[in-house]
């Protein structure tokens, strides 16, 4: 069961496009989609960001910024962003503090905490920045490495949140 974090602020080193460090409250957007990745070696993570990059104009048209969060160093995040030519921020969370605070699931107990690619599961959250305080309005907690929302599903969720204002 997913438990919403009480603190959804972020200030992490950015190896991709945009300000460094990146803070959610300073983004020019109505929504932010945070992709908490398993590891830079994860093929499902690579496929996800490649597909989102290909359709990124559709997110920007909806006043949405996508942010990928890697459990790696800033240098590794920068190399990852460059290798896939990502048009959005790629944040470094090497100690997993932000991922843990947001509730990114880890399988295999203690063993899973020893190696991110083995234990970490994907987490996608959407933050609404339209009010005076950012609000978490959507989450998808992966049960397996490939359990992720589709790009189409994320775009529909953004459209729904924009229309309902919730």
Average pLDDT, the chain: 86
Q: Which residue has the higher pLDDT, 145 or 117?
A: 145
Domain assignment of residue 6, yes or no: no
Do the Cβ atoms of 128 and 154 come closer than 8 Å? no
pLDDT in tens, 54-65: 999 999 999 999
Domain assignment of residue 127, yes or no: yes
Q: Return the ∠ at Cα 81 (arms to 89 and 157), rounded to 5°.
A: 50
Question: Does 113 score more than 60 pLDDT?
Answer: no
Question: Does 6 score more than 90 pLDDT?
Answer: no
Q: What is the pLDDT of residue 114?
A: 44
Strand partners, 139: 125
**Dist CA 84 CA 52 (whole Å):** 11
Query: What is the tally of structural domains in the chain?
Result: 1
**Dist CA 85 CA 43 (whole Å):** 16
State pTM to two decimals: 0.89
- The domain of 91 spans 11-164
């Amino acid at each position: 069961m997913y438990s919403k974090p009480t603190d959804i602020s972020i200030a992490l080193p950015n190896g991709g496009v945009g300000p460094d460090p990146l803070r959610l409250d300073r983004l020019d957007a109505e929504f932010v989609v945070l992709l908490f990745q398993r590891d830079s070696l994860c093929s499902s993570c690579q496929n996800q960001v490649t597909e989102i990059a290909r359709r990124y104009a559709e997110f920007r048209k909806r006043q949405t910024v996508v942010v990928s969060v890697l459990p790696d160093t800033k240098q590794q995040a920068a190399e990852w962003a460059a290798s896939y030519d990502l048009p959005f921020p790629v944040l470094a969370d090497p100690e997993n503090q932000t991922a843990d605070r947001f509730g990114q699931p880890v399988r295999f107990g203690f063993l899973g905490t020893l190696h991110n690619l083995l234990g970490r599961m994907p987490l996608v959250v959407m933050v609404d920045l339209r009010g005076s305080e950012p609000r978490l309005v959507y989450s998808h907690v992966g049960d397996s490495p490939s359990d992720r929302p589709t790009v189409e599903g994320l775009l529909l969720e953004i459209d729904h949140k924009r229309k309902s204002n919730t």
